[in-house]
Structure 1
Amino acid sequence: MKFPNEDDLRRERTRFMTMIESLTDDEFENGTTLCDGWTPRDVLAHIVGTDKLSNYLKPSGMTISRGNAAMVRGSHELSRAELTAQGWAAAEKPSIDGRMMAWLYAGDCAMHHQDVLRGLGKPHDVPAESAAAIFREGKAWRYLNAKPMRNRVIPTTPGGEPWGRGPEVRGTTEALALWMAGRRGLESELEFR
């Protein structure tokens, strides 16, 4: 398995930004995503905000949820064009923090790409390297949420590997990963055994 690097991060952020650019203003500002309470604008603010680890330190008291909320709140002062320009800057030239955390942020961006596409009901084909990044992210969220994996997940598409113990859950790599990360509404795409 290839460990994500800076090039992978740039690739995922570029794909994400290309999709963001394709959204109408209404979709961008008011669209639904799989991230509870976040619009595509908010997801973009998160992607931009993660490029600097300091965004998690000062406003958040070192918690992920407070840091994310501060990033989203701060972005509401920006126009779509300003926020999008920041997104392209983070895609084309990630910060030192972003490059150091590329192994994590590539999966975060790939997963959020799916959050937006699926939330808006748009086609969501996933390249194998993106599926692998999403799967790593889904597994990481199981650990971060301190929720034991009570199932054995069996991906039916490239990018993931069987993982966990217990009753089997089968599905596409990205659907399993999103489900492991706590996204709702994916049960119809999964086969529980």
Structure 2
Amino acid sequence: MRFPLEDELRSERFRLLETLEGLSDDAFDSGPTLCSEWAPRDVLGHLIGIDYLTGSYLPYALRMHDANRAQAERVRAMPRGRLMEWARHWAANPSLTSRAMAFLTLSDLAVHHQDVLRGLGLTREIPDVVANAILREGVQLSLLLNRRVLAHRLVPTDGGRPLGRGVEVSGTREALGLWLAGRDAVTDELEFVR
């Protein structure tokens, strides 16, 4: 059975692996990302953990940051070759839960891929479905974290409909989504109209 966005989820996972495979060992192990405490390998550990380490969430109840940190720490000492081998299996074989919830898991994956790229000063061409996913994740996270989405009218300059009301902020779907998700490094890419 195929779920909506399942193929896009796999494709974005493989695009992330392509990014990671192109990094030096130093950049992979300790390079900066927009997730301030995490290197690219930690981001990958978190993303893999969503599929394979879901039991690690249970002891943390609603403390998601602690659970995410624990997932990243579990793979920190793993040799890069072994971690990337596991990642290739993860990319090709998403868990049933991740496939069924691809609407959400693609969004989280897409934001974290940008966290790695932007942290290292890299760019890529972002497919439309991924740009939409980044914006969607930003809206969802903003409702939980900073409420920016409730005080702003979001105007995507690269497609999509405006959303919300309040102070108008315009930019690409990627920049809007990252900003809503708390990645303030993209603020200069946005235009605020009062």
- Do they superpose with TM above 0.5? yes
Query: Contact 1:118–1:124 at 8 Å: present in 2 too?
Result: no
Q: Distance in 2 between matches of 1:14 and 1:32?
A: 21
Structure 1 residue 4: Cα displacement: 4.6
Partner deviation per Cα, 1:76-101 (whole Å, 9 max, x = no partner): 12111111122111110011222222
SS at match of 1:51: helix
The 3 A distance-change label for structure 1 pair 6 and 55 is: farther
TM-score (norm 2): 0.91
Structure 1 residue 179: Cα displacement: 0.1
Residue type of the alignment partner of 2:16: F
Partner deviation per Cα, 1:18-77 (whole Å, 9 max, x = no partner): 11111111110111111121110111111111114323223x234211110110111112
Residue type of the alignment partner of 1:161: R
Q: Distance in 1 between matches of 2:4 and 2:14?
A: 15
Is the deviation greater in 74-83 or in 172-181? 74-83
Q: Distance in 1 between matches of 2:137 and 2:44?
A: 18
Structural mapping, 1:1-193, within 5 Å: 4-52=4-52, 53-58=54-59, 60-145=60-145, 147=147, 149-158=150-159, 160-193=160-193
Query: Contact 1:4–1:106 at 8 Å: present in 2 too?
Result: no
Query: Contact 2:146–2:182 at 8 Å: present in 1 too?
Result: no
Q: Distance in 2 between matches of 1:37 and 1:77?
A: 16
Residue type of the alignment partner of 1:115: D
Q: Distance in 2 between matches of 1:111 and 1:55?
A: 22
Residue type of the alignment partner of 2:25: D
Q: Distance in 2 between matches of 1:134 and 1:4?
A: 17
Partner deviation per Cα, 1:103-141 (whole Å, 9 max, x = no partner): 111111111111111110012321111101111111110
Q: Distance in 1 between matches of 2:18 and 2:77?
A: 22
Query: Contact 1:9–1:102 at 8 Å: present in 2 too?
Result: yes
Q: Distance in 2 between matches of 1:130 and 1:83?
A: 24
SS at match of 2:51: coil
Q: Distance in 1 between matches of 2:158 and 2:56?
A: 35
Q: How many residues were matched structurally?
A: 189
TM-score (norm 1): 0.92
Query: Contact 1:17–1:88 at 8 Å: present in 2 too?
Result: yes
Q: Distance in 2 between matches of 1:127 and 1:184?
A: 22
RMSD: 1.6
SS at match of 1:50: helix
Q: Distance in 2 between matches of 1:134 and 1:41?
A: 21
Partner deviation per Cα, 1:148-187 (whole Å, 9 max, x = no partner): 52111101013x4311110100111100000000012111
Query: Contact 2:35–2:115 at 8 Å: present in 1 too?
Result: yes
Q: Distance in 2 between matches of 1:78 and 1:90?
A: 16
Report percent identity of matched pairs.
44
